[in-house]
Amino acid sequence: MIERFLMNTHYIVLIGVILLLIIGFFGALTKRNLIKILIALGIADTGVNLFFITIGYISGKTAPIFSKNGLTASQMVDPVPQALVLTAIVIGVAVLALGLSIIIRVYEHYGTLNVSRIKRMRG
Amino acid sequence: MSLNPILMIAVPLFVAFSIPLLGYIHKKAGLYAMSATLLFNTFLSFSTLPHAFEKPIRVIIAGYKPPFGINLAITPFSIFLACLISLMGFIVSIYLLKDETTETQEKFSMLILLVVMGATGIVLTGDIFNMFVFLEIMSISSYALTSIRKDRKGSEAGIKFLLVGSISSTFLLLGIAIIYNQLGTLNMADIARRFSQMNPKLAFAAVSFLFLGLGIESEMFPLNAWAPDVYQGAPAPVAALFSAVTVKAGLYAMIRFLYTISNNSSFIKLLMLFGIATVIVSELSALKQTDVKRMLGYSSLGQIGVILFAVGIGTKTALEGAVFHFVNHAVLKATMFLSIGLLAKYAGGSSFEELKGIGKKYPFLAGVFAIGALGVMGFPPLNGFMSKLMILTAAAKAEHVVLVMLVLAASVVEGFYYFRVLQVMFREPEPTRIEKRSVSLAFVIPLVVLVGMIVGIGLFPGVLMPYFKGAAMDILSRGDYISVMLSGGGAL
Amino acid sequence: MKRVSLKKRFRVKNIFVFVVLVYLGFQMLSLGFLLDLKDVKGVAKYYLENDIKDTQSANVVTSIVVNYRGFDTLGEVTVLFLAATGLGAILSGYRKVKKQKILANTMLQYGSKPLLAIIILFGAYIFIHGHLSPGGGFQGGTVIATGFLLMLLALEGYEIKHGYIKWTESLAGLTFVTVGLFGLFLLGSFLADFLPLGKVGNLFSSGVIPIIYVAVGFKVGSELTGLLDNMMGVVE
């Protein structure tokens, strides 16, 4: 099984994708600091972005740009995941920025970033 | 020839981008522009409604036919929800004209406009990645709106909402990536047509990821722990908007995905069980609340559970009941959140302690709240009764008798805690610390309209019945959706 | 470095979460074999083969982002706009103090000003040539924002006029929507390309794509600069 993975570029990257997802979700579920949780979710997001790029990549093909004469469509990788990942990255940045600003406010009210102490609303 | 439905998305965007500049003309220009835009959306969606019920409309964007470009899929169900969403948005926006939730009025009105626009985009779009983008527009503006007052509760609820929502978007993207890898397309009709060609294991993985992601957006039981916090922490008109608009869009995405795209009967069955769990857990949690707004949040989750349950049954009557309950839940919860918001503002808080005897000081507002509560409990002349009856009859017909009993038991619990609130409001002695203030007309008009809708729908449900039937047919007729969207829809 | 006891480091819950995640990871890895990674198929094949005919843009990713799936990009720009708006609303009311604990050195203070011009030029180059080369509005806008980040870091008390940011982001967004509406009124389809396409490889080619990408570049640049400026000032 292992050899089959290492034979192919895709599968090496795929291992990276899964590692990023595991690290991200592990951090999000076990860390107590709000900023660390946000960073962990950002890592998981990166994993997904890498996954998109992986499914668009085809071994031995080039970037989808008609930059010189003689390049034909059949020599290019899938361009759609690249376009989608652009959107996903921008959305990730937006969520991260907004999250940090809300965290600033949370810190102002609670004086801590520890999630186990930010629990005034319950029941 | 009427206006192109794409304007329901393009015009709010245009206005949202120009609101910062409108601030130079007049301080409140942004608020009025927002309200006017939502009125335009309401008008446009209602004028498209009859056309879409004749034959679903396909609106092509950028001139490329599906599956190559993005298109809007305006089917009976989606346009019906678009009408509901823009109408509720407009009603709440009238209320906001006089509301002083935040000092950043300009940004506030932009965010409100974009929440409604995002929800409209979700129900209208025919492309799964585009739906994800609109979902993100809706959720990001929701995060900001939740914590816009910059108080403690709002910030705490906002960050919880944001973290959970960000997990949801990760799952959604994973699911979409797997689908794209297998089928090479993102158009919903094209995916639906070829869904069975996917490798079954990967199809299962994709459906599970999307189910999890959309389950968070539609506030399904194990994934909805953030929701009561948000309903409590957000400003009251925003909470009204959440329960009337954003949840509806999340539920739409769930239904469209499970019924039209994947048509996976085991996940639909699962929805029924999760729905029941949502009803029971949230009604029981509502019982022990001491804050009325939080209690309303739990009660809202309970209603959503009923809708999920009805969607999970999957018969035609059950789906008609579910669509009916969509409308009722939106109207009732908007009424209650708006009235409790005003009462809490005058009383200084929304806990039982602070609301003691408020009914005697503000009989109109408390009366509106009471009508909403009676509607939710399902008192016969009001609208909540009919839809619950339809759902329960359908469930009994589908031989889920135990589940019907559970929903009925939950309704009894619901009646119990609402009566407790009403008792606190009306039977306690009149408080002396609260002074009587006059209620502005901008607050009264939306409440009167909403109460009119509660009573009107309750008395004449037959007027809306053809629309419920059409929407339910639309949910079930998967083949029609595919053929219309891929080969050309009806004319405008 | 704070010492953390071994017991705290390895909580039972954490180990449990780790084991579950690793198990799920292996499951996903086994799914990885089933992925179809051999050839371009579906809509992507159509895009690659018809890109020149449809849009005359050399960069296929650009024509997907701006033309075929332009509606997504409009949404994406809106998301950034929302983030900037929401962040502004949530952080409003803070008294902004822009003080540096250690002043940037003289080289940085003087060198950053000419660098800003070069960085902006480079960013503009990237977004103007989005349809010819790798790059585009988002990338160019981000490069421009890094220029302003450099200024904020290098110069104490550096102010970016809020009015400029406001006008740029609003006008850029309005340009995008207006181009879309032109397509709707002239050709009956929102965001349709109503300009002559030109010839692939020329700067003035591929219809509305460069116009939209320049607008996106300005919008992303101003939005990100506004975000940085808002975050930068917060000192308690």
pLDDT at C99: 72
Chains that touch A (3 or more CB pairs under 8 A): B, C
Burial code (b: 16+ CB inside 10 Å, e: under 16) for B41-61 equals bbebbeebbebbbeebbbbbb
pLDDT tens string C184-196 = 999 888 888 888 8
**Residue B427 CB partners (closer than 8 Å, separation 6+):** none
User: Which chain C residues are within 8 Å of A54, Cβ to Cβ?
Assistant: 37
Amino acid at A35: I
Residue A115 DSSP symbol: G
Q: Which residue of A has its CA nearest to B231?
A: A121
pLDDT at C196: 85
Provide the CA C144 distance to its chain's centre, in angstroms. Answer: 11
Residue B38 DSSP symbol: H
Q: Is A100 on the interface with B (CB under 8 A)?
A: no
B479, burial (CB in 10 Å: exposed 0-12, middle 13-18, buried 19+): exposed
B449, burial (CB in 10 Å: exposed 0-12, middle 13-18, buried 19+): middle
Q: Which residue of A has its CA nearest to C18?
A: A26
Residue B84 φ/ψ, nearest 5 degrees: -60, -45
User: Which chain A residues are within 8 Å of C27, Cβ to Cβ?
Assistant: none
Q: In a 3-state reduction of DSSP, which class is residue B325?
A: helix
Q: In angstroms, what separates the C-alpha of A56 from chain C's closest C-alpha?
A: 8
Q: Residues C51, C57, C60, CA angle at the centre, nearest 5°?
A: 55
Q: Domain limits of chain B?
A: 279-459
Chains that touch C (3 or more CB pairs under 8 A): A, B
User: Which chain A residues are within 8 Å of C38, Cβ to Cβ?
Assistant: 58
DSSP string, B132-180: HHHHHHHHHHHHHHHTTT-SHHHHHHHHHHHHHHHHHHHHHHHHHHHHH
Please check whether residue B71 is in contact with residue B127, taking contact to mean a CB–CB distance below 8 angstroms: yes
Q: Is C91 on the interface with A (CB under 8 A)?
A: yes
Q: Which of C63, C183, C191, A80 is nearest to B62 (CA)?
A: C191
Q: How far apart are CA C48 and CA C44, in angstroms?
A: 6
pLDDT at B489: 59
Q: Which of A48, A95, A123 sits opposite B173 (nearest CB)?
A: A48
Residue C173 DSSP symbol: H
- Global pTM value: 0.95
Q: Is C87 on the interface with A (CB under 8 A)?
A: yes
User: Is the CB of A64 less than 8 angstroms away from the CB of C59?
Assistant: yes
Residue written as token pair 């109503």: C194
Q: How far apart are CA A76 and CA A98, in angstroms?
A: 37
Which of C:121-140 have CB within 8 Å of A? Answer: 133-134, 138
In whole numbers, what is the pLDDT of chain B averaged over residues?
89
Q: Which residue of C has its CA nearest to A59?
A: C38
Q: Which of C33, C61, C236 sits opposite A64 (nearest CB)?
A: C61
pLDDT at A3: 65
Q: In a 3-state reduction of DSSP, which class is residue B224?
A: coil
Q: Is C43 on the interface with B (CB under 8 A)?
A: yes
A112, burial (CB in 10 Å: exposed 0-12, middle 13-18, buried 19+): middle
A116: region left, alpha or beta (phi > 0 left; psi from -120 to 50 alpha): alpha
User: Which chain C residues are within 8 Å of A57, Cβ to Cβ?
Assistant: 37
Q: Is A3 on the interface with C (CB under 8 A)?
A: no
Q: How far apart are CA B223 and CA B212, in angstroms?
A: 8
- Using only the alpha carbons of chain B, give its radius of gyration: 21
Burial code (b: 16+ CB inside 10 Å, e: under 16) for B426-443 equals eeeeeeeebeeeeeeeeb
Q: Which of B150, B153, B180 sits opposite A121 (nearest CB)?
A: B153
User: Is the CB of C83 less than 8 angstroms away from the CB of A25?
Assistant: no
Q: In angstroms, what separates the C-alpha of A49 from chain C's closest C-alpha?
A: 16
User: Is the CB of C72 less than 8 angstroms away from the CB of B61?
Assistant: no
Choose from A98, A101, A117 for mutation: most chain B CBs within 10 A. Answer: A98
C8 pLDDT above the threshold of 70: no
Please check whether residue B57 is in contact with residue B71, taking contact to mean a CB–CB distance below 8 angstroms: no
Q: Which of A37, A84, A121 sits opposite B163 (nearest CB)?
A: A37
Low-confidence ranges of chain B (pLDDT < 70): 1-2, 101, 488-492
In whole numbers, what is the pLDDT of chain C averaged over residues?
87
Give the DSSP H/E element, type plus range, for residue B73.
Answer: strand B71-74
> Could you tell me what percent of chain C has a pLDDT over 90?
38
Q: Which of A73, A74, A102 sits opposite C90 (nearest CB)?
A: A102
Choose from C9, C21, C81 for mutation: most chain A CBs within 10 A. Answer: C21
Cis peptide before B67 (omega within 30 of 0): yes
Q: In a 3-state reduction of DSSP, which class is residue C158?
A: coil
Amino acid at B192: A
* Segments in B69-151 forming alpha helices (H): 76-96, 105-124, 128-146
User: Which chain C residues are within 8 Å of B185, Cβ to Cβ?
Assistant: 42-43
Tokens of B174: 């994973």
pLDDT-based confidence at residue C72 (cuts at 50, 70, 90)? very high
Q: Which of C67, C79, C90 sits opposite B148 (nearest CB)?
A: C90
User: Which chain B residues are within 8 Å of C69, Cβ to Cβ?
Assistant: 69-70, 129-130
Residue written as token pair 């159509």: C46
Q: In angstroms, what separates the C-alpha of B465 from chain A's closest C-alpha?
A: 39
Tokens of B388: 């619950």
Tokens of C9: 């480091």
pLDDT at A21: 94
Q: Is A118 on the interface with B (CB under 8 A)?
A: yes
Choose from A66, A74, A82, A108 for mutation: most chain C CBs within 10 A. Answer: A66
Please check whether residue C92 is in contact with residue C234, taking contact to mean a CB–CB distance below 8 angstroms: no
Q: Which residue of B has its CA nearest to C38?
A: B181
Q: Number of CB pairs < 8 Å for A and B?
A: 97
pLDDT tens string C161-182 = 888 988 999 999 999 999 999 9
pLDDT at B116: 95
User: Is the CB of C31 less than 8 angstroms away from the CB of B202?
Assistant: yes
Q: In a 3-state reduction of DSSP, which class is residue B25?
A: coil
* Beta-carbon count within 10 A of C100 CB: 11
* Beta-carbon count within 10 A of B82 CB: 29
pLDDT tens string B248-281 = 999 999 999 999 998 888 999 999 999 999 999 9
User: Is the CB of B156 less than 8 angstroms away from the CB of A118?
Assistant: yes
User: Is the CB of A98 less than 8 angstroms away from the CB of C90?
Assistant: yes
* Beta-carbon count within 10 A of A15 CB: 15
Q: How far apart are CA B50 and CA B48, in angstroms?
A: 6
Please check whether residue B342 is in contact with residue B334, taking contact to mean a CB–CB distance below 8 angstroms: no
Choose from C53, C87, C187, C190 for mutation: most chain B CBs within 10 A. Answer: C190
pLDDT at C235: 55
Q: Which of B101, B106, B145 is nearest to B27 (CA)?
A: B106
pLDDT at B401: 86
B415, burial (CB in 10 Å: exposed 0-12, middle 13-18, buried 19+): middle
DSSP string, C47-104: HHHHHHHHH--SBHHHIIIIIITHHHHHHHHHHHHHHHHHHHHHHTTPPB----SSPP
Largest CA distance in chain B: 70
Q: For each of chain A's 123 residues, which pLDDT tens digit applies?
A: 666 656 677 888 889 999 999 999 999 999 889 999 999 999 999 999 999 999 988 888 888 888 777 788 888 899 999 999 999 999 999 999 999 999 999 998 998 888 888 877 665
Q: Which residues sit opposite A114 in a β-bridge?
A: A33
Q: Which residue of A has its CA nearest to C64?
A: A83
Residue written as token pair 């722990």: B225
Q: Which of B389, B425, B424 is nearest to B407 (CA)?
A: B389
Q: How far apart are CA B113 and CA B101, in angstroms?
A: 16
Q: How far apart are CA B455 and CA B71, in angstroms?
A: 38
- Using only the alpha carbons of chain A, give its radius of gyration: 20
Which of C:96-155 have CB within 8 Å of B? Answer: none
Which of B:92-151 have CB within 8 Å of A? Answer: 129, 133, 136, 140, 143-144, 147, 150-151
Q: How far apart are CA C195 and CA C209, in angstroms?
A: 10
User: Which chain B residues are within 8 Å of A105, Cβ to Cβ?
Assistant: 147, 150, 155, 158
Q: Domain limits of chain C?
A: 58-235
C53, burial (CB in 10 Å: exposed 0-12, middle 13-18, buried 19+): exposed
Q: Which of B61, B130, B136 sits opposite C189 (nearest CB)?
A: B61
Q: How far apart are CA B277 and CA C123, in angstroms?
A: 53
Q: In angstroms, what separates the C-alpha of B167 from chain C's closest C-alpha?
A: 15
Residue B61 φ/ψ, nearest 5 degrees: -110, 140
Provide the CA B341 distance to its chain's centre, in angstroms. Answer: 19
Q: How far apart are CA B295 and CA B232, in angstroms?
A: 8
Q: How far apart are CA B131 and CA B316, in angstroms?
A: 26
pLDDT at B1: 47
Q: Which of B54, B67, B71, B51 is nearest to B3 (CA)?
A: B51
Q: How far apart are CA A1 and CA B191, in angstroms?
A: 32
User: Is the CB of A123 less than 8 angstroms away from the CB of B294?
Assistant: yes
Tell me what ipTM this predicted complex has: 0.93
pLDDT-based confidence at residue C131 (cuts at 50, 70, 90)? confident
Q: Which residue of C has its CA nearest to A21?
A: C25
User: Is the CB of C49 less than 8 angstroms away from the CB of A73?
Assistant: yes
Residue B34 φ/ψ, nearest 5 degrees: -60, -45
Q: Which of A5, A77, A98 sits opposite C83 (nearest CB)?
A: A98
Q: In angstroms, what separates the C-alpha of B333 from chain A's closest C-alpha?
A: 21
* N-terminal to C-terminal alpha carbon distance within chain A: 49
Provide the CA A108 distance to its chain's centre, in angstroms. Answer: 29
- The structural domains of chain A, ordered by start, are 2-61+74-117 (1.10.287.3510)
Q: Is B285 on the interface with A (CB under 8 A)?
A: yes
User: Which chain B residues are within 8 Å of C51, Cβ to Cβ?
Assistant: none
Residue C133 DSSP symbol: S
- Min mean pLDDT across A45-49, C36-40, C57-61 is at C36-40
